[in-house]
Amino acid sequence: MSIRTLRRRAALCAVGAMVVVSGAAIATPAHAAVSCRVTYTKAWDNGSGFGANITITNTGDPLTSWSLTWTWPGNQGGIQGWSASYSQSGQNVTATNLSYNGNLANGASTTIGFNASYSGTNTNPSNFAINGVSCGDTTPTPSLVVSPTSVSVPEGGTATYAVRLSSAPASNVTVTTTAGSGDGNLTVSAGGSLTFTSANWNTNQIVTLAAAEDSDTTNGTRPFTVAASGLTSVTVNATEADNDSVTPQSLVVSSTAVTVPEGGTGTYTVRLAAQPSGNVTVTNTAGTGDTSLTVSSGASLTFTTSNWSTPQTVTVAAAQDSDTTNGTRPITVASSGLTSVNVTATEADDDSVTPQGLVVTPTSVNVPEGSTAVYAVNLAAQPTANVTVTSTAGSGDTSITVSSGASLTFTTSNWNTPQNVTLAAAQDTDSTNGTRPITVASSGLSSVTVTATEVDDENTANSYITEFTTQYNKLKDPANGYFSPEGIPYHSIETLIVEAPDHGHETTSEAFSFWIWLEAQYGRVTGNWTPFNNAWNITEQYVIPSAAAQPGQSTYNPADPADYAPEGLLPSNYPVPLSTSVVAGQDPLANELQSTYGNRNVYGMHWLLDVDDVYKYGTGRTGAECGDSTQRVTYINTFQRGPQESAWETIAHPSCDTGRFANFPSLFIQGSSTGQWRYTNAPDADARAVQAAYWALQWATAQGNQSQISATVAKAAKMGDYLRYSMYDKYFKNPGCTSPSCAAGSGKSSSNYLLSWYYAWGGDIGGAWSWRIGSSHNHQGYQNPLAAYVLGSSGPTALRPQSPTAAADWDTSLNRQLDFYLWLQSAEGAIAGGATNSWNGNYSAPPAGTPTFYGLAYDVKPVYHDPPSNQWFGFQAWSLHRVAELYYATGNAKAKQIMDKWVAWAVSQTTLGSGSSFTIPGDMTWTGAPSGNFSGGTVAANPNLHVSVVKTSNDVGVAAAYARTLTYYAAKAGNTTLGNSAKATAKGLLDRMIMLKANDTKGIVVPETREDYKRFDDVYNASTGDGLYVPSGFSGTMGTGVPINSSSTFMSIRPFYQTDPAWPAVQSYLSGSGPAPTFTYHRFWAQADIAMAFADYGSLFPAG
């Protein structure tokens, strides 16, 4: 078995605006005077079932435990509740507190809820009692809620306060604001009479106070009484902020230093310190210095008696220039009679980032005999004058020639626009796929060699391209069952399978990304790009949440992105509490992304879908839930509870949680309620989609078909823009965090510039609040330096994200990722686990002596431990494939260094046997650690970091990924000892997989024995932590209708397995009457990777 099992981990959701009730031990105070108020609210009612929430407010002495009782007026029953322990006898119901919500101080409240059924009339109960004492009217008398109760009103201006009611009134309530004795200049200018109804009682209404101009210098005061009949009035104390005070007049400048990106702008603001008696003109004049820095707007500002305190913006622009100096220039802010202020403007030069060079893509082209192929050339940086670039054919097959573009001219304006060079292959009579190098050169620059290979039409068909077509057709054949009726790739054809998804007809963003890549390869081979575009369209329709699916994003506050919730080590440590005392850092991306795309919505894939709705969370919808009214293809989530939570301990729950089934959020966060949506992004999948789009662009451009995919490529660039959230710490804490009180990030200080395990976002279904988090854990298997290159300033313009700082972020990420590989590379060559900014998931201090990477602590098994996350060789093959492609596309020296060592190790661990047999690494163990801390410079070798292969494998999916890695490396390394060894090993693996075709009509597969399926009948074991843990007192139902409570098991909440055709073999194994079951699985990602391995080898080595 390959350790794909349980490899995904979703984000533990934490929110920035949740009402949470504290918990405490249960005890009863002696002679407590019990007084209470109960509010009963129906959440939904479909005629036979309903849900309700009950808010208990303690109006008496403090309680340390409570028991709420009521009597149903009708035949209501079948309660499945949360946040309390429920029992019912006849019409009498008792709800008793749980361990965390028993303590209720005077005035404190807690909310519980349940789903129940009935027939006939569903009349609300009214006779509630706490600890045997009647609670009175269940519709509480409202009170006035006024905020603030002290306001400062600028003379000649206004100030406001808000008024609402504490609860819904029985009838309309009129609230008046009346001025008392005091400064007569202070008056009510608007909102003197407000009306609250049962519909708008909790909506703030505004009262406006005005302060008239006067000639005194006294800050007068006046009380205002907010009142309503029968309610306790509230006094608002207003103070006039007099503008006749002795505050000396001066210029107030927001910043005296501003950085201006070359080709862009920077700003500062100016206001007056005091109200003037007349208009004041302020000038902003550039002094001696870098003349590319100029005041582009705001050179002359006018302040009046009314706008004097409002900051006005001055914009400084930095023109593009050809130097590499960060020039400076002073800007003098001045006004007659006032002391001037100097602002120092500094140009952030963009010419120092990228040295001049030739950018050529691709550097290896196949030219069909009798036809043409193209490659593109542009400059890496803006030149100071015209640059001529030539393409000259070298020695080799003379039928290959440069037919157009042999001499290209680049100017200061078109330097970054790719220009095409067309190669032609003349018809000849031989059957040889000849090659010829083409040298791309320009005076003073390093030349680039493009290797052109003639694809001879006298040759027999390329057998590997034929194998790609055969495998592709099997994947797309509807009879084989790889795709759902909606056109969505399933995780596997087979339904009984437990790994990251716990059912074969779920699917992942991983599968979508492999599908997009597969269709790019199809376009490469056929020139037909319609399937590629369609794959992205289906992805956008089903796995990228729509605007309606993420309501309330406008409420997101980047300055307070989420409340902190520590991660537990075991599922039994959950639910965990939220803490508002741990300060999260600032989110620096939200405002930029909103400015770029015009909204707050996130454009990224959620990681898991229940395609066939096997959990039935879509079934029974009577209307749209988070914008979705379908009965299938439901967003779900599983992993939420720490590093020891394997698939066997998960609880599948809806991402859009309306409360129709249970209060699932309360399993993870103490005191949580339903009515939430939550999505988790798997960054490696989004990066893979970008990677696929890059190759699609290269191949389509070579065919002259790039215009056919331009819209899809732009969407990939947008996805890459949002993918930057994965660079950030979970709570935007700065790197090197070793306690919850460590420094919160500001700006981009909390970015690690690595692809972490997830980013997540969520909020209130009603739109009242929303949150976003990154991840503190970074795994080598998720890095994608090719995607970083593609999205950076050296990548294709068509794939460059639109946000102003995105390309620079990805440039930094590219170098950071490559250094990360080198820092983690073992003495043998394999890449060790990763690094974390939150030890134990709660910002603990790591063990003394733990080496760090830019402050992140080395972690041999980041994110999950059951099984260890870096045990599986698949993460090596997937991750290093991206490094190999970067090496192939760019010749990057660090990529070559990483690959030279890794390829030598991997090939040494590979056996090509007789017939179709082969073995590759399967499971690995690790000893030692990186040799030291790293935060820049040259990465040191790791003589004491070691890997051992403890189990080999013949997993075809991993073998295909591994073969692709070797293929790209060999294509770049060329005729070297290691390059030839890599090519021979890749070919050997592919040839053996071709032999396996005879065993199966739907793909290329090998049987797997699943000894881990003994865990199907696990029961929770508190001493080992194995088995499904559900907290005592939790109850509800799964979407299938089966109950979920503390007695539930993995199987009991998944009844669909027992009717699966594969179940008898598992049942026999569990009962002891049969061996561990053996299955032949057709995983979509694996079968797609096999097809692409054939396409890659056939295209890069057309001669075989």
What tokens were used for 829? 């060559």
Q: Provide the CA 648 distance to its chain's centre, in angstroms.
A: 25
> Are 547 and 627 contacting, i.e. CB atoms less than 8 angstroms apart?
yes
**What are the pLDDT digits (tens) for 168-211?**
777 899 999 999 999 999 999 999 999 998 778 777 899 999 99
Q: Which one-letter amino acid corresponds to residue 466?
A: T
Is 798:792 a contact under the CB 8 Å cutoff? Answer: no
Domain pair 36-134 / 358-455, same fold: yes
Domain ranges, ordered by start, for the chain: 36-134, 142-248+267-316, 358-455, 477-871+918-953, 1008-1033+1052-1079
The pLDDT value given to residue 991: 97
The confidence band for 461, taking pLDDT boundaries of 50, 70 and 90, is: low
Please give the structure tokens belonging to residue 876.
């090596």
3-state secondary structure of 473: helix
Max Cα–Cα distance, the chain, nearest Å: 108
Residue 10 has pLDDT above 50, yes or no: no
Instruction: Report the alpha-carbon distance of residue 520 to residue 105 in Å, rounded.
Output: 62
Pull the structure tokens for residue 346: 């500094």
- Is residue 242 scored above 90 in pLDDT? no
Catalytic residues: 510, 684
Contact present, 273 and 251 (Cβ < 8 Å): yes
At the topology level, CATH places domain 142-248+267-316 in Immunoglobulin-like (2.60.40)
pLDDT above 50 (res 20): no
Instruction: Specify whether the CB–CB gap between 5 and 646 falls below 8 A.
Output: yes
> What gap in Å lies between CA 172 and CA 404, rounded to an integer?
81
H or E stretch including 746? none
Q: State the pTM of this model.
A: 0.67
Residue closest to 501 by CA, chosen among 10, 1038, 1014: 10
- H-helix or E-strand spanning residue 515: helix 509-526
pLDDT of residue 243: 74
The backbone torsions φ and ψ at residue 781, rounded to the nearest 5 degrees and listed phi first, read -70, -15
Question: In the structure, what pLDDT confidence band is assigned to residue 246 with cuts at 50, 70 and 90?
Answer: low
By the 10 Å C-beta count (0-12 exposed, 13-18 middle, 19+ buried), 46 is classed as exposed
Answer yes or no: is pLDDT of 872 > 60: yes
* CATH of the structural domain 358-455, one choice from 3.40.50.970, 3.40.720.10, 2.60.40.10, 3.40.50.300: 2.60.40.10
pLDDT at 1034: 95
- Nearest-angstrom CA–CA distance, 960 and 514: 13
Which range of 12-26, 81-95, 192-206, 921-935 scores highest in mean pLDDT? It is 921-935
CATH tag for 477-871+918-953 (out of 3.30.160.270, 3.40.980.10, 1.10.3720.10, 1.50.10.10): 1.50.10.10
pLDDT at 157: 86
* 585, 733 contact by CB (below 8 A): yes
Give the CATH fold of the 36-134 domain. Answer: Immunoglobulin-like (2.60.40)
Contact between 1053 and 614 under an 8 Å Cβ cutoff? The reply is: no
865 pLDDT exceeds 90?
Answer: no
Tokens of 1096: 């890659």
pLDDT of residue 7: 38
CA dist 254 and 176 (Å) reads 40
pLDDT score for 812: 98
> Binning pLDDT at 50, 70 and 90, where does residue 30 land?
very low
Residue 346 reports pLDDT greater than 60? yes
Give how far the C-alpha of residue 359 lies from the chain's centroid of Cα atoms, to the nearest Å. 31
Whole-number percent of the chain with pLDDT over 90:
76
Q: Looking at residue 140, what is its pLDDT?
A: 55
